[in-house]
Amino acid sequence: MTIEETTVTFDELTSGLAIERDRRNDWRRTAVVYQIYPRSFADSNGDGIGDLPGITRRLPALADLGVDAIWLSPFYRSPQADAGYDVADYRDVDPVFGTLADFDAMLQRAHDLGLRLIVDLVPNHSSDEHAWFRQALAGAPGSAERDRYIFRDGRGEHGELPPNNWQSVFGGPAWTRTLDPDGTPGQWYLHLFDAKQPDWNWENPEVRAEFLDVLRFWLDRGVDGFRVDVAHSLIKAPGLPDQQASEDEGADDTEGYFHTGPMWDQDGVHEVYREWRALLDTYSPARILCAEAWVPSLSRLARYVRPDEMHQAFNFDYLESEWDAAHLRSVIDSSTAANDEVGAPTTWVLSNHDVVRHVSRLGLPAGPRPNGIRAGDPQPDHQLGLRRARAATLLMLALPGSAYLYQGEELGLPDHTSLDDDLRQDPTWRRSGHTEAGRDGCRVPLPWEADEPGLGFGPGGATWLPQPAAYRELARDRQEDVDGSTLEMYRSALALRRAFALAVGDLSGLDAKAGVLRLRNGELTVVANTGVTPVPMPDGELLMASAELPQGGMLPPDTTVWLLTEAWSE
């Protein structure tokens, strides 16, 4: 190779640098995304259920908080058997949430406020009330209508046993038997979740084409992208073999999401996402795909965010981490390394609509993460949980990449941990034979104004789940402009994250000793004390603290600080 051939011109070099800078600053690598759970965000018409006009009215509060984007959990037409994750029509808004016109108005308002909007897409299953499932039930075994879903004959002499041993994530068998038109028992259909959520057959080209069309429908309306529900389950192993007992080993969480087996994380799913990515790449401005994939290792997760697939995947290892410096260090280190390997940003998340809120979780003794907390269960220590949650959040918001916030965490909300069992709506409660509380406790309507009926959730004060007494003091208006409130901590942290470009910063000096986690991001030194004794703080200008600091330069337990320091100081 001659010298001429390797010479890069000044223009080439600067345009190359500009491309690299644009890539690093791409919102799909840096955004703080706020999750709205529509039933519980804000109600506009007094029926006690949140809706799209309610969201539109409250959007300025999110712009004011300083987030970059919103992820909206499902609002599609649905019988609400799994709070909207059972979609009957992917191209329409459920009347309980409003209309397509309400959706357009909400999207426009979000964009006017500089907020991007990511919608939830549920491709693994539909509702049993979807037109195609009704046609499948009416169709004969082996018909084209049935082939859009996963129907099989049962085992046993009369087909009376399910086709295989798969269990539903919500408890009980993953198969339900149908009745033929003459009333005799017929074939079985697969549902990895509730019986009202039949799994699509992703081997069927018609299903693939249909979803590409659904993507186009929302992209053409102007949405900024999709959060993809159970992205790791679309393809099942050929022949639908029984799940082996050994495949459940290592599942260390109570929700069973990390199980391996013939229904999870099959290589074929990646082909689907490559096709979706190619479609998204034809749209401008840039659109995002984010995977919800509870796969058992960070290296398997990184496969979902290879350059021609999705842009991001939720980092559930971070959410699952104990409040322990060594554990956190290891998760930060390994998730960053796994994503670097494929050139993807790392994401961070502590709460969502499927898990006990981190205020409550971190107020429990270390141990397996519970699937909901009931009145008779050991109760979290709220003050300890709040203190740790604030420290964990401040640590999270100092990390490069994207962060996901779940509505209400900016208020320091705990779960409702003494909800009347009769009010539970999560199908998990019923399907587990009333052994697992499920996720209602983290889905309670938000408190906006302490002195309004229903804490300002909507006119008249109705709320589809009761709000716990603790929510009054935590209402947004009680925290606004109040020094030291959780809301103000989030607001300041988000402003500083932006000012110091932390999302694109270089992480260095990651270290955990004696319960203290330290790291540097650009000019910032971050110290989190997860231990039980105060430790000395490095010298530097204090930018943020998750709790009040005593005189004398010591960092108390369960506290995180951001400091401006010249360089790394021991």
Query: For binding to ligand NOJ (CB under 6 A), which residues are involved?
Result: 82, 85, 122, 193, 229-230, 292, 353-354
Q: How far apart are CA 15 and CA 20, in angstroms?
A: 9
Footprint on this chain of Ca ion (rule: CB under 5 A): 43, 45, 47, 49, 51
Q: Give the three-class secondary structure for 125.
A: strand
- Rounded to whole angstroms, the maximal C-alpha distance in the chain is 82
Least distance (Å) between residue 170 CB and ligand NOJ: 8
CA distance 46 to 44: 6
Angle between helices 382-396 and 486-499 (to 10 degrees): 10
- Closer residue to Ca ion, CB minimum distance, 32 or 42: 42
In residues, how long is the chain? 570
Comparing CB distances to ligand NOJ, the nearer of 230 and 563 is 230
Nearer residue to Ca ion within complex by CB, 43 or 317: 43
Could you tell which of ligand NOJ, Ca ion, none binds residue 545, using a CB distance below 5 to 8 A set by kind? none
Pairing of strands 116-121, 69-72: parallel
Q: What are phi and psi of 541, to 5 degrees?
A: -85, 125
CB of 229 to ligand NOJ, least distance (A): 5
- The minimum distance between CB 471 and ligand NOJ, in angstroms, equals 22
Catalytic residue among 86, 199, 292, 426: 292
Residues in CB range of 68: below 8 A, 6 or more apart: 27, 30, 31, 32, 33, 115, 116
Could you tell me the smallest distance in angstroms from the CB atom of residue 214 to ligand NOJ?
A: 16
Write b or e for each residue in 152-164: b if 16 or more Cβ atoms lie within 10 A of its Cβ, otherwise e: bebeeeebeebbb
Q: In whole angstroms, what is the distance from residue 432 CA to residue 254 CA? A: 12
Judged by beta carbon, residue 100 or residue 495, the one nearer Ca ion is: 100
Report the relative pairing of strands 225-228 and 116-121 from DSSP bridges.
Answer: parallel
Report the residue number whose CB is nearest to ligand NOJ. 85
Q: How far apart are CA 484 and CA 479, in angstroms?
A: 9
Nearest to 123 by CA among 39, 267, 233, 222: 233
**Between residues 85 and 133, which has the closer beta carbon with respect to ligand NOJ?**
85
451 carries an active-site annotation: no
Tokens of 78: 């649905």
Residue 47 or residue 89: which is nearer to Ca ion going by CB? 47
* CB of 508 vs ligand NOJ, minimal distance in Å: 34
Q: Give the residue nearest to Ca ion (CB).
A: 51
We find the least distance from the C-beta atom of residue 467 to Ca ion, in angstroms, to be 16
CA torsion 91-148-159-173 (nearest 10°) is: -50
Select the binding partner of residue 219 from ligand NOJ, Ca ion, none (C-beta < 5 to 8 A, by kind). none
State the binding partner of 229 from Ca ion, ligand NOJ, none, CB within 5 to 8 A by kind: ligand NOJ
Rg value, the chain, Cα: 24
Q: Which does 82 bind (CB under 5 to 8 A by kind): Ca ion, ligand NOJ, none?
A: ligand NOJ
Residue with tokens 């649905």: 78
Which amino acid appears at position 347 of this protein? T
Secondary structure (DSSP) of 272-319 = HHHHHHHHHTTSSS--EEEE----SSHHHHHGGGSTTS-SEE--HHHH
Residue 49: name its binding partner from ligand NOJ, Ca ion, none (Cβ under 5 to 8 Å by kind).
Answer: Ca ion
Candidates 143, 141, 182; CA nearest to 163 is 141
**Nearest approach, Cβ of residue 50 and Ca ion (Å):** 6
Q: Which of 43, 102, 120, 229 is catalytic?
A: 229
The partner residues of 190 in beta bridges, in order of sequence, read 175
Which SS3 state, helix, strand or coil, does residue 141 take? coil
Q: Which C-beta is closer to ligand NOJ: that of 32 or that of 122?
A: 122
Shortest distance (Å) from residue 563 CB to Ca ion? 45
Q: Which does 41 bind (CB under 5 to 8 A by kind): ligand NOJ, Ca ion, none?
A: none
Q: Which does 230 bind (CB under 5 to 8 A by kind): ligand NOJ, Ca ion, none?
A: ligand NOJ
Nearer CB in complex with ligand NOJ: 80/486: 80
> Residue 32 binds which entry of ligand NOJ, Ca ion, none, with Cβ cut-offs from 5 to 8 Å by kind?
none
Active site residue 229: yes
Return the active site residues.
229, 292
